[in-house]
Amino acid sequence: MNKIHSAFVLSLSIFLLSGCLNNNAQKVSELSAPVRSEEEAIKEEQESFENIPVFPISTEEVYHAFKDKPGDVQFNKENDTITYLDEHNNLELYTDNLVDESIDQFYTTIYNTEFVKNNSGDSDMASFYGDIFKLIDVPFDEKEFLIILKNADLTKDRKDKTTSYEEDMVITKFESIWLGIEGIYTSDSSKEPAYIEVRVFPENPSTF
């Protein structure tokens, strides 16, 4: 009877011990899984950055091109960002380095929409965008550029107009580069955008 009892106790002990070991192994697996996932996510993010098309130019080069222009230019060396506002406050440029001192896009803003509607060429816009396109070695035809802006449908037929969505950007090719144009609303009740954002890309942004 004692032998049977001892065998039963031994079997029970082995069963409980194996159960504990399995539970511990499962917990270790559960704890290590998020770490691996986080590392994979970081790796994927780094790879995605490396695959983004860039212009072979740095923010410092952009700064030197705009520092003597009639406007306010701010260059943050620590963050590799540049902001330029023209003297009439109609046009603004912002950009930053993505990787390896290269720019993936230029953010530009046209604050006066009438400036676009009533413009027929030969203006400050030619100088502003001409300087940007010269940096990336792309010819700039202001009249063609204005036609693209005027023909772009920038209206947002929805209640929430102040929020921007990816599909709000009108993407079009200009010479060898791509433009992403969006009307920015400051009020949900506005019928027209308060200003226009024009982003300059080296390749079609919808493909990356």
Domain residue ranges in the chain: 1-51, 59-207
pLDDT at 78: 85
Q: Which residue has the tokens 């039963």?
A: 8
The DSSP call for residue 185 is P
Looking at residues 188-206, what average pLDDT do you find? 93
d(C-alpha 190, C-alpha 197), whole Å: 17
pLDDT of 75 above 60 = yes
Mean pLDDT score of the chain: 81
> What CA–CA distance (Å, rounded) separates 203 from 207?
8
- Residues 158-183 have a mean pLDDT of 95
Question: How do 91-99 and 81-86 pair as beta strands?
Answer: antiparallel
CA–CA separation, 111 and 24 (whole Å): 62
pTM over 0.85: no
Q: What's the rounded mean pLDDT across residues 109-136?
A: 80
Rounded to whole angstroms, the Cα distance separating 173 from 144 reads: 11
CA pair distance 80, 26, nearest whole angstrom? 46
Q: Quick one: average pLDDT of 27-44?
A: 62
